[in-house]
């Protein structure tokens, strides 16, 4: 009797889970499909037809335009470089510091934590940051982007709390074996924390990929601009259309959609590689078992 009711409630529960998620997916999926498919439509269809999924006329014009635009291809490549370089630097600095600050026995830990938090709320603003960057000779170099964003306080604080949740027993066992702090970190804690490292690699990658404002301020060589600068110029109408002089191109809605699609692809391709780290109890289980 007991096992039957268990299965029944089990399957009811399952149905509910799938139903709710399915509904969510549908709400998310439809507009995303609209973005995707409309990037293959013509300007007149997009303007006149309202919401639709399957275009009447398929065209690759928008993509053709993008790939023939020198600034698009250059900025795409720049954005990839900035993302890879910035993420590598940031994740290293963040992981080390987050681990350090997660050691509850560490002296001076509290003021350090507060110092980090404080920068999340207060900042000097763009002018002092620009002056500093300029004084350090970083203008027009990607180092200006990497160094100014080496650690995002939010990521650091959350990562620190993840490190704090790693099982203490392992650490103690390792210490009894005479393991030094660096060895402990690299040999034991880090491999155990791949989920959190993967999470914050993704966070940093997306952060760098989406950033544009600092690049506009710090980089003077237009050839070094990242993709988001190009993207924003296409999708945001300029404040006053009188000033904007376009040309015979259709910077119409389909091109906007195409550039949005192209700008999402690397981040979507990246995701599955990190997904395996979110499998339930993956690492802790394997170590203990």
Burial of 257 (0-12, 13-18, 19+ CB in 10 A): buried
Among residues 37, 59, 67, 93, which is the contact residue for other proteins, using CB under 8 A?
93
Supply the minimum distance, in Å, between the C-beta of residue 31 and other proteins.
5
Q: Is 58 helix (H, G, I), strand (E, B) or coil?
A: coil
Supply the minimum distance, in Å, between the C-beta of residue 203 and other proteins.
8
H helix runs in the chain, sequence order: 2-38, 43-49, 61-68, 70-102, 109-121, 126-135, 143-148, 153-164, 168-176, 181-183, 190-192, 194-210, 213-218, 227-235, 253-275, 282-288
Residue linked to tokens 């190009």:
230
User: Site residues for other proteins, window 217-246 (CB under 8 A)?
Assistant: 217, 220-223, 225, 229-246
In degrees and rounded to multiples of 5, residue 229 shows phi and psi of: -65, -45
Q: Which is nearer to other proteins, 81 or 281 (CB)?
A: 281
Among residues 67, 71, 170, 171, which is the contact residue for other proteins, using CB under 8 A?
71
**Torsion of the alpha carbons at 28, 30, 32 and 36, rounded to the nearest 10:** 160
Q: Which is nearer to other proteins, 84 or 131 (CB)?
A: 131
Number of residues interacting with other proteins: please give it, by CB under 8 A: 144
User: Site residues for other proteins, window 255-284 (CB under 8 A)?
Assistant: 256-257, 260, 263-264, 267-268, 271-272, 275, 277-284
Q: Do 206 and 86 contact (CB within 8 A), yes or no?
A: no
Contact between 23 and other proteins (CB under 8 A)? no
Q: Which is nearer to other proteins, 82 or 257 (CB)?
A: 257
Among residues 180, 187, 191, 273, which is the contact residue for other proteins, using CB under 8 A?
180
Report the first-to-last Cα separation within the chain, whole angstroms: 34
Q: Which is nearer to other proteins, 174 or 206 (CB)?
A: 206
Supply the minimum distance, in Å, between the C-beta of residue 187 and other proteins.
14
User: Site residues for other proteins, window 120-179 (CB under 8 A)?
Assistant: 120-132, 134, 147-148, 150-151, 154, 156-158, 161-162, 164-166
């Amino acid at each position: 009797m007991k096992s039957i009711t268990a299965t029944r409630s089990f399957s009811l529960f399952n149905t509910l889970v799938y139903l709710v998620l399915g509904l969510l997916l549908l709400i998310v999926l439809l507009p995303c499909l609209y973005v995707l498919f409309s990037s293959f439509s013509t300007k007149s269809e997009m303007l006149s037809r309202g919401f639709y999924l399957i275009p009447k006329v398929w065209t690759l014009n928008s993509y053709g335009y993008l790939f023939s635009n020198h600034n698009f291809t250059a900025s795409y490549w720049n954005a990839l470089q900035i993302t890879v370089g910035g993420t590598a630097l940031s994740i290293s600095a963040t992981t080390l510091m987050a681990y350090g600050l997660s050691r509850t026995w560490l002296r001076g830990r509290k003021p350090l934590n507060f110092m980090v938090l404080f920068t999340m709320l207060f900042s000097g603003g763009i002018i002092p940051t620009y002056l500093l960057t300029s004084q350090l000779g970083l203008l027009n170099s990607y180092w200006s982007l990497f160094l100014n964003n080496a650690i995002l306080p939010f990521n650091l604080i959350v990562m620190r709390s993840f490190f704090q949740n790693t099982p203490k027993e392992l650490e103690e066992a390792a210490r009894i074996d005479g393991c030094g702090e660096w060895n402990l970190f690299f040999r034991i804690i880090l491999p155990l924390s791949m989920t959190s490292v993967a999470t914050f690699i993704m966070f940093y990658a997306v952060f760098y990929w989406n950033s544009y404002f600092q690049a506009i301020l710090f980089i003077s060589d237009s050839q070094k601009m990242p993709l988001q600068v190009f993207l924003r110029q296409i999708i945001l109408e300029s404040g006053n259309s009188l000033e904007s002089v376009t040309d015979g191109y259709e910077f119409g809605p389909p091109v906007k959609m195409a550039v949005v699609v192209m700008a999402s692809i690397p981040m979507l391709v990246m995701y599955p590689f990190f997904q395996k780290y979110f499998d339930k109890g993956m690492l802790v289980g394997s170590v203990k078992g």
